[in-house]
């Protein structure tokens, strides 16, 4: 096979060690291989970088093994052309499985151009992705803690969840805090129900009558304290994400600057609201990209930020919208043998992006006079709700791809799009049938024909 890289390296990355294999072409035209082992400390990885540079390496490849590849990537980034590849794509020959053989196999595949690099976003985008994913985890943990509150209430035989829509609402929290502080009188607890609690007071008193012990009060205090801490953490992470999306300030000396801008400029991350893009168009800022995505039905500001953190601002890393959909795991898979399509199950893809898109699809399905809602209803009737959600999620991602690539806003087709398309198709089909029977057909609207 043709050799694309005369000097390259393959790394087998583990938690404590890195096995490195450098393949180069010797004076006699034969490949020469050299092996070394380094620890994964910063000092050792810097030594690895120096050694690879001394060997004249231009390309370095290694598997995406959990999170262990990240320190190696961070320290080698900018010095070499790095390829982080899917481990499933480079399985070695059975019976030859050792760490050194793995590194050698990766180097051989890389030398002949048989490896396809995974999409690794820029450092600023990776930081933003960490924040959005962490916020999701905090939100999930808060939901679990709220469920624990509900479990404790059921153990107390307090039916607060039956008379209020949200047990973490303003009135419900006042009631729960009073119960945690030792109040057990249902009448006094019901008096705390203010705001939009529509249940009659008699129903509230009946629901708040239960068997409350000191043990339950302790658990309630712990649950409420934990929920408060989680809410504060979510607010801090959200504030940091918002700070990074703040538009850049006018330059120094500009008449547009206002008092206090200097302090805000210090707080604004250099992170970059601009991301370089190898395209003739000016790069979108993060705030501008969010404005484009929120024009799509079903996508709010938080979902738009999460989607951008996963796919980035520019689409040059994905040749087509189909490549992006495949990477996200929201398109049918390929499994064909002997001319028969066996399964169209979607691949795993990016679970974070897929979750955001499915949530957006469910939100879009409740919109009125919406193309995506009509698409959801039509597919749901034939294929079920889950397949319909994935199909609409695919449509949302394809739309997002074109909006970011072309830097344009979403144009609503309307809920009658499918009906009009079906009507035009029926007209053409019937005209063809009559033409085959020997008739000359000329269609006229009913209003004109009369």
3-34 residue pLDDT tens = 888 899 999 999 999 999 999 987 877 888 99
Cα–Cα distance, 409 to 292 (Å, whole number) = 5
pLDDT at residue 195 tops 60: yes
Phi first, then psi: give them for residue 19, nearest 5 degrees.
Answer: -90, 125
258: left (phi over 0), alpha (psi -120 to 50) or beta: beta
User: Are residues 383 and 271 in contact, defined by beta-carbon separation less than 8 angstroms?
Assistant: no
Q: How many alpha carbons fall within 13 Å on the CB side of residue 161?
A: 12
pLDDT at residue 166 tops 80: yes
Cα–Cα distance, 24 to 6 (Å, whole number) = 5
Cα–Cα distance, 181 to 220 (Å, whole number) = 9
Q: What is the CATH number of domain 7-111?
A: 3.30.420.40
* Encoded tokens for 266: 């210090």
pLDDT of residue 259: 54
Cα–Cα distance, 167 to 179 (Å, whole number) = 13
Q: Which residues pair with 32 in a beta bridge?
A: 24
Cα–Cα distance, 446 to 351 (Å, whole number) = 52
Cα–Cα distance, 450 to 442 (Å, whole number) = 15
The contacts of residue 236 (CB under 8 Å, 6+ apart) are: none
Which of 359, 329, 365, 386 is closest to 140 using CA atoms? 359
Residue whose pair of structure tokens reads 């997002």 in the numeric block: 400
User: Are residues 229 and 181 in contact, defined by beta-carbon separation less than 8 angstroms?
Assistant: no
Question: Stretch 226-235: mean pLDDT, rounded?
Answer: 96
Question: Stretch 84-90: mean pLDDT, rounded?
Answer: 84
pLDDT of residue 282: 62
Question: Stretch 126-149: mean pLDDT, rounded?
Answer: 95
Rounded to 5°, angle at Cα 309 from 308 and 311: 60
pLDDT-derived band at 65 (thresholds 50, 70, 90) equals confident
Cα–Cα distance, 273 to 221 (Å, whole number) = 42
Cα–Cα distance, 170 to 134 (Å, whole number) = 26
pLDDT of residue 274: 38
pLDDT at residue 260 tops 70: no
Pairing state of beta strands 59-63 and 81-85? parallel
* Encoded tokens for 384: 């079920």
User: Are residues 175 and 160 in contact, defined by beta-carbon separation less than 8 angstroms?
Assistant: yes
Question: Stretch 371-390: mean pLDDT, rounded?
Answer: 93
Question: Stretch 229-248: mean pLDDT, rounded?
Answer: 89
Cα–Cα distance, 163 to 268 (Å, whole number) = 45
* Encoded tokens for 427: 């007209």
User: Are residues 23 and 108 in contact, defined by beta-carbon separation less than 8 angstroms?
Assistant: yes
Domain ranges of the chain: 7-111, 125-244, 286-335+345-406, 419-449
Edge to edge, the sheet with strand 81-85 lists 31-39, 17-25, 7-13, 59-63, 81-85
């Amino acid at each position: 096979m043709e050799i694309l890289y005369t000097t390259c390296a393959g790394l087998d990355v583990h938690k404590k060690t890195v096995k490195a294999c450098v393949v180069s072409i010797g004076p006699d035209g034969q490949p020469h291989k050299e092996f070394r082992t380094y620890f994964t400390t910063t000092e050792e990885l810097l030594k690895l970088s120096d050694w690879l540079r001394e060997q004249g390496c231009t390309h370095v490849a290694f598997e995406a093994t959990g999170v262990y590849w990240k320190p190696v990537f961070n320290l080698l980034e900018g010095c070499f052309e790095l390829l982080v590849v899917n481990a499933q794509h480079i399985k070695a020959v059975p019976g030859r499985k050792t760490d050194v053989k793995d590194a050698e196999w990766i180097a051989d595949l890389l030398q002949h151009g048989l490896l396809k690099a995974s999409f690794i976003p820029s450092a600023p985008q990776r930081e933003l992705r960490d924040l959005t994913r962490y916020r999701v985890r905090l939100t999930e943990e808060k939901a679990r803690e709220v469920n624990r509150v509900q479990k404790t209430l059921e153990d107390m035989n307090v039916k607060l969840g039956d008379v209020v829509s949200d047990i973490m609402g303003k009135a419900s929290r006042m009631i729960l805090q009073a119960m945690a502080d030792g109040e057990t009188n249902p009448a006094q607890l019901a008096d705390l129900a203010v705001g939009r609690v529509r249940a009659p007071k008699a129903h509230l008193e009946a629901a708040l009558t239960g068997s409350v012990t000191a043990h339950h009060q302790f658990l309630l205090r712990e649950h409420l304290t934990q929920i408060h801490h989680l809410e504060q953490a979510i607010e801090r992470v959200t504030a940091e994400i918002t700070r990074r999306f703040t538009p850049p300030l006018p330059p120094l000396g500009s008449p547009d600057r206002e008092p206090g801008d200097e302090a805000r400029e210090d707080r604004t991350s250099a992170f970059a609201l601009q991301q370089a893009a190898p395209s003739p168009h000016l790069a979108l800022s993060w705030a501008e990209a969010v404005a484009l995505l929120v024009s799509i039905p079903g996508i709010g500001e938080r979902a738009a930020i999460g989607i951008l953190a996963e796919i980035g601002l520019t689409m040059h890393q994905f040749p087509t919208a189909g490549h992006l959909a495949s990477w996200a795991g929201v398109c049918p898979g390929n499994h064909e043998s002997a001319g028969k399509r066996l399964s169209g199950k979607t691949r795993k893809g990016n679970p974070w992006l897929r979750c955001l898109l499915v949530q957006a699809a469910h939100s879009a399905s409740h919109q009125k006079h919406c193309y995506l809602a009509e698409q959801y209803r039509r597919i749901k009737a034939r294929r079920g709700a889950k397949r319909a959600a994935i199909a609409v999620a695919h449509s949302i991602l394809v739309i997002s791809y074109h909006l970011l690539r072309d830097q344009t806003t979403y144009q609503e087709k309307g809920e009658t799009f499918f009906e009009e398309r079906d009507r035009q198709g029926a007209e053409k089909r019937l005209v063809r049938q009559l033409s085959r029977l020997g008739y000359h057909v000329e269609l006229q609207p009913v209003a004109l024909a009369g």
